[in-house]
Structure 1
Amino acid sequence: MTTEVKVPALGESITEGTLGQWLKKPGDAVKVDEAIASLETDKVAIEVNAPVAGVIGALTVNEGDTVEVGAVIATIEEGGAAAASAPAPKAEEKAPAAAAQQAPAEPSKTSDALSPSAKRAAGETGVDPSTVAGTGKDGRVTRVDIEGAAASKPAAPAPAAAPASSGGRKEERVKMTRLRQTVAKRLKEAQNTAAMLTTFNDVDMSAVIEARAKYKDLFEKKHGVRLGFMGFFVKAAVQALRDIPAVNGSIEGDEIVYHDYVDVSVAVSAPNGLVVPVIRDAQDLSVAGIEKTIGDFGKRAKDGTLKMEEMKGGTFTISNGGVFGSLMSTPIINPPQSAVLGLHRIEDRPVVVDGQVVVRPMMYLALSYDHRLIDGREAVTFLVALKNAIEDPTRLLIDL
């Protein structure tokens, strides 16, 4: 019996996606609910699972094709076995074949199991994927794995004489992923619609660094998660947003919407770029709860298992470019939100404290906001409140 594999529902208002990669090929045996393909949507990559057990038949679309919800992308022959699609082995080959079938299957690390971005990374870096330990779902090798292996590879010795240049110049054209197209469209829409302005401040990280160093071991032992800086910043932002509600608001038509809750969008790295899941009701979470949520988002973003509903909504965004070494930036707001906080790298700088020049670990803060809703006074007041809370974390405990 032949069963059709169709594109599943992709979420509210999403009607199509892009076939990112095939995880199975014709003739492969599959189990019920086993992933056979990955789809890229406007927000995140999801997997298409086998509705029945059997053998993969025809693949009706190619990688990179756009497919609509409900479209047939493959067929499965129910009740078959992988050997059914291959010629019968000779007598002397049966024993090895049987042994091979009994051996547990291991995740493939060849180029045929790689995503398009991982393939490009392998080609650009010269890293052999079969030598790399995969950290993706089911042990698959991701682009991040390839790039990490390339970074750790010892540099090749310089040649005695530089080879003669061929004189040619090369270009490579790579189709934008659906996620990248959507990001580009939304960012440009934000620039065209909002009256964006960015206000800066800096913050002395000494107190937070000291608290983290003092309690990180006890914190991890009790809560099972590392104590980072984001927990402090989310808590401080929640407190500042409560005092300056316009920064947590949005414009809908000719109305301003104020929220009595804080849903914080946090940018985390995924194999295909940054994704922005949402910490719901951050005002009700402890620092430990925030860190656990962010840690879970980061892990599942790397595995490609974030759900669509986890990417929707959000009343305020925090983007930490400091993890990549950024000194200062002007982040772009994520509509319909009206503000985004940019964090940057921490570096020792000379500052004046009580008339004395001292060296302190400083970070630049950037708040980009929609000037249609948020006045400069409110933006500055928000940043000052955030700065005060970070420089004196006791304020977070006694609600100042």
Structure 2
Amino acid sequence: MTSEVRVPTLGESVTEATVATWFKKPGEKVAVDEMLCELETDKVTVEVPSPVAGTMGDIVAAEGDTVGVDALLATISESGGPAEGDDPAEKSIDAGPEHPSPREPKDGKDGDPAGGASVDVMVPSLGESVTEATVSTWFKKVGDTVAQDEMLCELETDKVSVEVPSPAAGVLSEILAEEGSSVEASGRLAVITSGDGAKASASAQETAPAPAAQKVESSDGKDIEDAPSAKKAMAEAGISRDQVTGSGRDGRIMKEDVASAIAAGNSAAKDSAENAPAPAKRAPSAADDAAREERVKMTRLKQTMARRLKEAQNTAAILTTFNEVDMSEIMALRNEYKEQFEKKHGVRMGFMSFFTKACCHALKEIPEVNAEIDGTDVIYKNYVHMGVAAGTPTGLVVPVIRNADAMSFAEIEKAINEKGKRARDGKLTMADMQGGTFTISNGGVYGSLMTAPILNPPQSGILGMAKIQDRPMAIGGEVVIRPMMYISLSYDHRIIDGKGAVTFLVRVKELLEDPRRLLMDL
């Protein structure tokens, strides 16, 4: 019987890929889920596993060919029994005696040979319009005991990080998606063995011999196929397979094994360099520069942010107008009431609540700044869902404070603090970052004197805040020192004209310089 190997789903808006590498040749034996080839798209690298066990047939798409979704890549002749010359007692490389495949039920129930139940760990719901994620970190290894709801791994999407809990108590018997691999929504991540099978699996892990450091050969004399990510890492580091000890099944080399070997090599080189005589000085070369460089793949969040910012520049007619605000009154008000404010509301009084309130008032007066373009229509929003840009260790995120125009100063400060903490902890959900109608970006916290932020589509305006700096100002015919801040409005000129943009920014300035008008809704 012949099975077809086809191009899998490549993700939202991705319609084609390039065949980068074939790991198998026609005539070679393959096991279920053994990696056959690697595809490259303009966003990610996708590994294609074998759907069945058998013998590699014809390769239809050669390396370098461009293929579409669901295109035929190769064929596999399924094995109906032991091939001629094979020892029936032998097991496939990918399903050794200590790790029977959960897909091949033997003596136990529910597919577990020791009488336990095999439970699949699935990719959870990733949110609206998110179809795939990258496995960021595994917190557990194969053979580890896990409790129900204990965190197994963390997935990274182009918007948020998602933690995956264990659906059952037992032993992690198999990891199907290694760190760095891409998984689709509702895909399988791992297998948990519960019940008596968990005890048997844990016992097998304790008594299993350590994987051999040398190359391991399969029953037909061919080397075991290492993880594609490990091959790539070895090639980039310029080290051979003999220099790496594999920790994967049957000695298969994984990406982390390469990293360990590189770290060990660097340590040995450092010790040798400390004891060696000082080398003669020579002119620096390009190779020296390359040795001091570090190549790190962009996270999905950064990739998506870069793509959306560029799309905003290509789509919207972005202009920026500037003004400056005398912060004297706001700072005096803060200093007078900040202790009472914090004592009553349990949150510190910051500047963001003043700016949020001022923008909400100005947006009601200049509604086109709070609108968006949808085809040939303009959608005016009679509410304000305020996006507040926040920097995190993994990149910029914009959580949304819904109905900010109906909130008090204290409610706004509490919402900003809560969203900021969740952003830093990586706990924001998709719902936290959707539906914003206008955004405030505070570059002043990093020392920016002037800023012209890019629009956050499909919004039509974004306010930029800069640092507060004492500057000499001419007031009433005299030069006085005042705490001043430059503010800016970047806007889509397709919907907002110059008059509307300038009027909006002047209105924000007036409200901030006389905050009593905010309190009295004037």
Category of TM-score, reference length = shorter chain: 0.7 to 0.9
Q: Which letter maps to 2:169?
A: A
1:200 aligns with 2:322: yes
Q: Which letter maps to 1:226?
A: R
Q: Deviations over 1:165-194 (max 9, x none)?
A: 783112322111111111011001100000
SS of equivalent to 1:43: coil
- Please say if residues 268 and 297 of structure 1, whose CA atoms lie closer than 8 Å, have aligned partners that are also in contact: no
Q: Paired residue for 2:149? A: 33
User: How far apart are 1:315 and its partner, in Å?
Assistant: 0.3
- Within-5 A mapping of 1:134-145: none
Q: Which moved more, 1:69-78 or 1:233-242?
A: 69-78
Q: Which letter maps to 1:365?
A: I
SS of equivalent to 2:128: coil
Q: Paired residue for 1:49? A: 165
Q: Which letter maps to 2:154?
A: S
Q: Paired residue for 1:357? A: 479
SS of equivalent to 1:381: helix
Q: 2:460 aligns with which of 320, 333, 338?
A: 338
Q: Paired residue for 1:10? A: 126
User: How far apart are 1:70 and its partner, in Å?
Assistant: 1.1
Q: Deviations over 1:6-27 (max 9, x none)?
A: 1111111111011111122222
Q: Paired residue for 1:272? A: 394
Q: Which letter maps to 2:295?
A: R
Alpha-carbon distance in structure 1 between the residues aligned to 2:283 and 2:383: 62
Q: Paired residue for 1:169? A: 289
Alpha-carbon distance in structure 2 between the residues aligned to 1:225 and 1:9: 34
Structure 1's consecutive aligned runs of 4 or more residues displaced over 6 angstroms after TM superposition are none
Q: 1:216 aligns with which of 317, 327, 338?
A: 338
Alpha-carbon distance in structure 1 between the residues aligned to 2:521 and 2:189: 55
User: How far apart are 1:361 and its partner, in Å?
Assistant: 0.8
Alpha-carbon distance in structure 1 between the residues aligned to 2:282 and 2:317: 50
- Please say if residues 171 and 202 of structure 2, whose CA atoms lie closer than 8 Å, have aligned partners that are also in contact: no
Alpha-carbon distance in structure 1 between the residues aligned to 2:475 and 2:407: 34
Q: Paired residue for 2:416? A: 294
1:381 aligns with 2:497: no
Q: 1:368 aligns with which of 482, 485, 490?
A: 490
- Please say if residues 205 and 361 of structure 1, whose CA atoms lie closer than 8 Å, have aligned partners that are also in contact: yes
Q: Deviations over 1:30-84 (max 9, x none)?
A: 2222221111112111111111112222111222211101111111112436964
- Please say if residues 387 and 399 of structure 2, whose CA atoms lie closer than 8 Å, have aligned partners that are also in contact: yes
Q: Paired residue for 1:251? A: 373
Q: 2:469 aligns with which of 347, 366, 388?
A: 347
1:310 aligns with 2:432: yes
Alpha-carbon distance in structure 2 between the residues aligned to 1:207 and 1:165: 62
- Please say if residues 343 and 366 of structure 1, whose CA atoms lie closer than 8 Å, have aligned partners that are also in contact: yes
Alpha-carbon distance in structure 2 between the residues aligned to 1:202 and 1:291: 23
Alpha-carbon distance in structure 1 between the residues aligned to 2:282 and 2:449: 37
- Please say if residues 26 and 59 of structure 1, whose CA atoms lie closer than 8 Å, have aligned partners that are also in contact: yes
Structure 2: gaps of 5 or more residues: 1-116, 208-277
Q: Whose helix fraction is larger, Structure 1's or Structure 2's?
A: 1
User: How far apart are 1:384 and its partner, in Å?
Assistant: 0.7
Alpha-carbon distance in structure 2 between the residues aligned to 1:40 and 1:221: 39
Q: Deviations over 1:256-292 (max 9, x none)?
A: 1101100001111222011111000001111111111
Alpha-carbon distance in structure 1 between the residues aligned to 2:281 and 2:322: 50
SS of equivalent to 2:482: strand
Q: Deviations over 1:300-345 (max 9, x none)?
A: 1121111111111100000111111111121000111000001111
Alpha-carbon distance in structure 1 between the residues aligned to 2:350 and 2:204: 52
- Please say if residues 44 and 275 of structure 1, whose CA atoms lie closer than 8 Å, have aligned partners that are also in contact: no
Alpha-carbon distance in structure 2 between the residues aligned to 1:297 and 1:260: 23
Alpha-carbon distance in structure 2 between the residues aligned to 1:53 and 1:164: 61
When the two chains are superposed, the root-mean-square deviation of aligned CA atoms in Å is 1.9
- Within-5 A mapping of 1:80-229: 80=198, 84=203, 86-87=205-206, 167=284, 168-170=288-290, 171-229=293-351
Alpha-carbon distance in structure 1 between the residues aligned to 2:514 and 2:124: 50
Q: Structure 1 length normalisation: TM-score?
A: 0.79
Q: 1:20 aligns with which of 136, 143, 148?
A: 136
Q: 1:67 aligns with which of 156, 165, 183?
A: 183
Give 1 or 2 for the bigger CA radius of gyration: 2
- Please say if residues 265 and 278 of structure 1, whose CA atoms lie closer than 8 Å, have aligned partners that are also in contact: yes
Q: Structure 2 length normalisation: TM-score?
A: 0.61
Alpha-carbon distance in structure 2 between the residues aligned to 1:83 and 1:355: 84
- Please say if residues 316 and 493 of structure 2, whose CA atoms lie closer than 8 Å, have aligned partners that are also in contact: yes
Q: Which letter maps to 1:245?
A: P
User: How far apart are 1:164 and its partner, in Å?
Assistant: 5.6
Q: Paired residue for 1:149? A: none
Alpha-carbon distance in structure 2 between the residues aligned to 1:2 and 1:214: 64
Alpha-carbon distance in structure 2 between the residues aligned to 1:293 and 1:239: 19
Q: Which letter maps to 2:471?
A: R
Q: Deviations over 1:186-209 (max 9, x none)?
A: 001100000000000010111111
Alpha-carbon distance in structure 1 between the residues aligned to 2:504 and 2:135: 43
